Amino acid sequence: MLISGRLPLYLLAGFTAAIGCWYLIYWNDEWIRVLGSNMLQISAGAVGAFWTLRVGLRSAGKREAFWLLLGAGLIFNTFANLQLLYKQLASTVIEYSVFSYVWWLIAYWFFLAALFWKFKRIHARSTRAGYIFNIVVFTVTAASASVHFVINPIISFADESPLVNLLTVVYPLASLSIFLFTLILYYSLLQQGALTKPLLYVVWGMLCQVAGDTGFAYLAQQQAQQSGQFVDVLWVLALLLIGLGGYYAGEGQTDPVQENEPDARIKESVFPYASIAVLVLLFVVSSHWEFNALSLGLLLLFLLIVGRQLRMMRVLNKLMGEYRYLAYHDPLTGLRNRIGFRQDLERIIANTETRAGLLLIDLDRFKVINDTLGHHAGDRILVQTAERLRRSVGPRSPLYRLGGDEFVIILTDAANSWCAAAADRILAAFREPFRFEDIEIIVTPSIGISIFPDNGCTSDDLLKYADAAMYLAKESGKNSFRFYDTELHAIMARKMKLENELRKAIERAQFKLHYQPKVELRTKRMIGMEALLRWEHPELGVVSPSEFIPVAEESGQIVAIGNWVLERACAQNKAWQDQGYPPLCVSVNVSVRQFQHREFLMSVHSILQRTGLSADHLELEITESIMQNVIESTDVLLALRRMGIRASIDDFGTGYSSLYIIPKLPVDTIKIDKSFIDDIDNRMQLSMLKTIIDLGLSLNLGVVAEGIESEHQQQVLIANGCPVGQGYLYSRPVSPEAFEEMLSAAGASGMDRAITAPE
């Protein structure tokens, strides 16, 4: 780092070389040697003072006080050397002047002030305990070493006038203070990432100054102090380095010098121990085994380290406590969390001889609150929910938040009637609306209850059963509770059976696709078909997709099944086209989980490639539930559109997003849900139906009515402008073979013939 300078560095090298030459030439003539080193110090001090004061005076801002103080220090240093020069020139004997000492002390005072000023500025930003500890350890080490090795010997040698004695003691003390402050400053600058190149030069300069002082003190102790020795080289260097700092500051080189973070950390943790090691070494080397400054320093360090160790243990214990709390508690409500719940429930199960009830509470439509009022409102409601639940069951029944809007209460020693009463109290507690910033919100809970040991004996089973009961409570109209019972058990058992059997269904070739035509209502011309999955299980019989698709969705198997369906449907459609039937578009149902799978687009693309079906003969049917992730879903839909694949919204009108969302989504068709067609004679439903048709047509979308079973329904739909339909009236979903017959029958009459279902 020190080598990256330019001109000033050459100057520095020049100065040092000059001293070296001077020394070599006049080795034997002390008078000339002293004169030379003195003049060099004077010029180095003057140059340094010029550079530092130049920065300090450039602007009157507070930042520059540091350089002004350093500059003042360098001026006084130069005074001291001038005084010495004067004294030397005035007499032939080389001796130090008391005045020089005074000037030097003033210079040191300015240096100290500068360091202190800088230190205060950065220290204001740092209060780390470890940092203060290191500084204290260092101070103790340096102080006891210098008292022992420098100050004590000087005091014992004292035989001159009191003023000279005072100065000889004060001088090393000042030097020691500079040393400490410099290191502390260096360390703080590193910590703050504020160590710049100019400051690094100042640090080196101060260290050189102190090294010179120490050398000088050592020589003085040996009664060998003379002017014009190696210490003078250090002093010249010190002045120049400080000046160089000012020079580079003037150049605006204020980028922090980088220090590797882990390195700094290692240094920091090793530092106190290294200090102790140094002091122990000094203590052993000094071979004074009595009580002295070194042993006092060692004792202090020892106590400091013990103190630090104790403090660290306390901090560690506190952290462990906090960690344990966080691991077992929910930060929002302060309730115990899922891990805490599992732990408690297992303990209760192991210790209880009687029954225990598990109440799983889930808020109805909580997502809507989060989506419409924001997460802050959602959080407030969760906190209030925790309070209401606590009030409903009293302080003694443990209450947990499992995550999201799911809470659990464990009722120990509880008969079924007790659990039912508790659930009733909870439902009653939610009758009063929640309040959030002047808005009143009605939030209702659905509660599922499982009983130990009747329903299960492990925490996993009990939770799973309470969850199943809660879902049923939601399905049967929400805002209610339900026990886990034999009926539910049968449902769960069936679900598990389906899940297991589904795993083998593809490889055992139990899936088949059936096709149902889509018809232009006015002409009854077939314009496309929907592929519908059929599962024929040897033992379970034909299982309806409405039953197994949700199970496959939940277990994630839908992705593999969905890909199989897509591939089959595309291959079949291509095969029909290859056989010469007029090209039609096949619609394939895609479930949310499949649609949101990260490899979905890739799979569709490669299936089209493999089967050779052109993209415009494939349509994907998705449901409104993809709206839960509008942004991502829109991206996928746009990508599909770019690939040339059409998309339609299936079962339109049953979801909560409906009308307003349609203009925002890049889809091509809406398929109106069968419930509207079923209720076509209901005036309200009919006007809804008409609105949907008009909206679709006005947006230039295809509109398909699902589940047309009667002529009457067909007539009403035609009268209201619905262009396309699908339903048993035309054909049930049929096997590929039967569908092919239908294709050839339609083909024989140019596709214009009315389709009749081949029963």
Count the neighbouring beta carbons within 10 Å of the beta carbon of residue 63. Answer: 11
Question: Binds 208, which of ligand C2E, Mg ion, none (CB < 5 to 8 A, cut-off by type)?
Answer: none
Contact 402, 335 (CB under 8 A): no
Encode 567-591: b = buried (16+ Cβ within 10 Å), e = exposed.
Answer: bbbbbbbbebbeeebeebbbbbbbb
Q: Which tokens is 8 given? A: 């000033």
Question: Binds 544, which of Mg ion, ligand C2E, none (CB < 5 to 8 A, cut-off by type)?
Answer: ligand C2E
We find the least distance from the C-beta atom of residue 581 to ligand C2E, in angstroms, to be: 22
Query: Is the four-CA dihedral 123, 126, 131, 137 of positive or negative sign?
Result: positive
Judged by CB under 5 A, the stretch of 80-88, 223-231, 619-627, 740-748 that binds Mg ion is: 619-627
Question: Binds 533, which of ligand C2E, Mg ion, none (CB < 5 to 8 A, cut-off by type)?
Answer: ligand C2E
Judged by CB under 6 A, the stretch of 312-320, 355-363, 402-410, 700-708 that binds ligand C2E is: 700-708
We find the least distance from the C-beta atom of residue 661 to ligand C2E, in angstroms, to be: 18
Q: Does 405 bind ligand C2E (CB under 6 A)?
A: no
- Binds ligand C2E (CB under 6 A): choice among 130, 256, 545, 723: 545
The three state secondary structure string of 592-636 is HHHHCCCCHHHHHHHHHHHHCCCHHHEEEEEEHHHHHHHHHHHHH
Judged by CB under 6 A, the stretch of 175-183, 265-273, 447-455, 541-549 that binds ligand C2E is: 541-549
Q: In angstroms, rounded to a whole number, what is the distance separating the alpha carbons of residues 653 and 685?
A: 11
Q: Which tokens is 119 given? A: 């230190």
Q: Which is nearer to ligand C2E, 42 or 705 (CB)?
A: 705
The three-state secondary structure class of 520 is strand
Binding mask 494-523 for ligand C2E (x = CB under 6 A): ----------------------x-------
Contact 522, 510 (CB under 8 A): no
Closest C-alpha among 272, 255, 228, 239 to residue 30: 228
- Binds Mg ion (CB under 5 A): choice among 650, 652, 703, 729: 650
- Binds ligand C2E (CB under 6 A): choice among 55, 150, 185, 549: 549
Judged by CB under 6 A, the stretch of 102-110, 265-273, 315-323, 727-735 that binds ligand C2E is: 727-735
Say which DSSP state 291 is in: S
Question: Binds 707, which of Mg ion, ligand C2E, none (CB < 5 to 8 A, cut-off by type)?
Answer: ligand C2E
Counted residue by residue, the chain has a size of 759
Q: Which is nearer to ligand C2E, 467 or 650 (CB)?
A: 650
Give me the amino acid identity at 333. T
- Binds Mg ion (CB under 5 A): choice among 621, 652, 662, 717: 621
Judged by CB under 5 A, the stretch of 230-238, 374-382, 507-515, 586-594 that binds Mg ion is: 586-594
Question: Binds 8, which of ligand C2E, Mg ion, none (CB < 5 to 8 A, cut-off by type)?
Answer: none
Helix (H) or strand (E) holding 103: helix 98-123
Rounded to 5°, angle at Cα 144 from 142 and 149:
95
Q: 237: burial class by Cβ within 10 Å (0-12, 13-18, 19+)?
A: buried
Count the neighbouring beta carbons within 10 Å of the beta carbon of residue 242. Answer: 33
- Binds Mg ion (CB under 5 A): choice among 229, 589, 720, 726: 589
We find the least distance from the C-beta atom of residue 619 to ligand C2E, in angstroms, to be: 12
Q: In angstroms, rounded to a whole number, what is the distance separating the alpha carbons of residues 225 and 41?
A: 18
Judged by CB under 6 A, the stretch of 12-20, 284-292, 360-368, 706-714 that binds ligand C2E is: 706-714
Residues of this chain that interact with Mg ion (CB under 5 A) are: 589, 621, 650-651, 706
Residues of this chain that interact with ligand C2E (CB under 6 A) are: 516, 532-533, 544-546, 549, 562, 565, 589-591, 621, 650-651, 706-709, 726-728, 733
